[in-house]
Copies of this chain bind each other. A is one copy, B any other.
Amino acid sequence: MADKAQIQEAIKVQGEVVRKLKSEKASKEQIDEEVSKLLQLKAQIGGDDGKHQFVLKTAKGTRDYNPKQMAIREKVFNTILGCFKRHGAETIDTPVFELKETLTGKYGEDSKLIYDLKDQGGELLSLRYDLTVPFARYLAMNKITNIKRYHIAKVYRRDNPAMTRGRYREFYQCDFDIAGQYDAMIPDAECLKIVYEILSELDIGDFRIKVNDRRILDGMFAVCGVPDDKFRTICSTVDKLDKMPWEEVRKEMVSEKGLSEEAADQIGEYVSLQGGMELAERLLQDQKMSQSKQACAGLTDIKLLFSYLQLFQVTDKVVFDLSLARGLDYYTGIIYEGVLTQTGIAAEAQNGAEESVSVGSVAGGGRYDGLVGMFDPKGRKVPCVGVSIGIERIFSIMEQKAEASAQRVRTTEVQVMVVSAQKNLLEERLKLLTELWNAGIKAEVIYKKNPKLLSQLQYCEDSGIPLVAILGEQELKDGVVKLRAVATREEADISRADLIAEIKRRTSEA
């Protein structure tokens, strides 16, 4: 532990940092972060007033989920889980951190966003950045050559948070992947079917699934005259087309990345193309494009993919879009992205205007046939294709929907509340409660000896508990319980022997 004098010196230095930032009119975020560090230091020596001061917050870019949010989250997870299970996937789990080395060289420029753990005298560790790399590590480590698995877990990125748009530093990914040597495009088509099913079931507005292929992109760059060593950087510029207009993208290619104007214009023509199977057919006949073997392989697979998508009945939402690029290094074939096309729900609800609360991409994935081989000592490859559903943006929308609707979100599943009408009946309440619990009924009591009847009933109204079991001297004498339906306020005496069956009957109806 640092001694007090050291900490006081650190506080002085940190104070200077904050003053400097403020005088420089630095961003609020940056200042907040340094102020937070200052407060933490002050807290270590007890702060100004001699009392221990806490910074009472969660870490930057993270949040707690309250019970209402958890109820919504559970609903979303159940939909996704149901779909993954319907498609016959197993599940695995991997640790939240990996050897730092495992993540190295997998994410290109984004590697700077990886959270490292402090070197406390053991291995060098990092928090996982996605679930795909740990999955590939798992396959290589256990020499697994085919599996269909899902994995729902949190991943970590030191990105600039934009919480209102659902961008956090800690967030869930729901991944479904198929590993194995199979016939072309069958597993790939299933991944798209899964995106289609989940986005339809969640009922969060209209959507499109954009599809492209890394080989088509590379072939296109080649025939347009992009030098080999610029494929990747030009690709990441193309990736920005969903955020900026073509003119700006073109400018970046030419001015910043030194591409010829002619090449840029040719790319511009291709990336404006959207269609279905017929576009793939047309491009296979395209004089220029057809010169690239790679592009032809990609286009032939796109055609095959669409034929399977027809059988899966999902072509109404799938678009072959040559502007889709996707950032990650490890993709080798087909790539895709699910995007919501509706304008923002909250904005609509609040002012009926067209103001768009864009949530953009909510699912993405592709084929990565080389990743597992990067972990295998002999470089043995395991072809993989997968999809990742981005939950946080979907949560944001579902939360806004829940708030906009009048419907109450229940946060417990309690079926019956045991209450007493008179005093001194705690023991009787606990006895009945035990009977109910032992029979598998979800039940509770107020943890007071003599709670007021009204406050007990109010609690049921507030938390949406459907039934109340009322005990009083008379009921005990008669061997009955007064069962009250909270919604209708109807009451009926039920004999103790029939009570459990009656509660089960009434709550299974609902």
Contacts and interface: CB of A to CB of B under 8 A. Distances in A.
Given A88-B412, A120-B158, 16 more contacts: A33-B122, A55-B101, A56-B377, A58-B94, A59-B95, A59-B97, A59-B125, A60-B123, A64-B95, A88-B443, A89-B412, A90-B412, A96-B127, A116-B117, A182-B448, A186-B447
Contact of A117 (B44, B115, B437): B115
Give the number of times this chain occurs in the complex, counting copies.
Answer: 2
Interface in A158-191: 158, 170, 178, 180, 182-183, 186-187, 190
A102 B54 contact: yes
A58 B313 CA distance: 41
Contacts of A55: 99, 101
A59 B99 contact: yes
A170 B94 CA distance: 10
A213 interface: no
B308 A430 contact: yes
Nearest to A417: B88
A70 B44 contact: no
A455 interface: no
B86 A65 contact: no
Interface stretch (A133-141, A221-229, A321-329, A346-354): A133-141
Given A66-B92, A92-B64, A96-B96, A434 B85 contact: no
Interface of A: 33, 36-37, 40, 43-44, 53-60, 62-67, 70, 73, 85-102, 104, 115-120, 122-125, 127, 137-138, 140-142, 147-149, 154, 156, 158, 170, 178, 180, 182-183, 186-187, 190, 193, 197, 308, 311-313, 375, 377, 411-414, 426-427, 430-431, 434, 437-438, 440-445, 447-449
A67 B127 CA distance: 22
Contact of A67 (B36, B58, B91, B187): B91
Nearest to A411: B90
A197 B154 CA distance: 30
A123 B59 contact: yes
Nearest to A33: B122
Nearest to A153: B154
Contacts of A312: 430, 434
Nearest to A149: B67
Contacts of A93: 64-65, 70, 73
Contacts of A138: 64
B85 A70 contact: no
Nearest to A144: B66
Contacts of A441: 86
Nearest to A119: B118
B187 A447 contact: yes
A419 to B, nearest CB: 14
Contacts of A147: 67
A104 B40 CA distance: 11
A344 to B, nearest CB: 25
A124 B37 contact: yes
Given A137-B56, A311-B427, A447-B182, A94 B64 contact: yes
A96 B101 CA distance: 22
A224 B103 CA distance: 57
Contacts of A124: 37, 40
Contacts of A119: 118
Nearest to A172: B93
A181 B183 CA distance: 64
19 contacts: A33-B123, A36-B99, A55-B99, A58-B99, A59-B125, A62-B95, A64-B138, A70-B90, A88-B412, A88-B444, A96-B154, A96-B170, A118-B118, A122-B158, A187-B447, A190-B447, A308-B430, A311-B431, A313-B434
A437 B86 contact: yes
Contact of A447 (B92, B178, B427): B178
A40 B101 contact: yes
Contacts of A125: 59
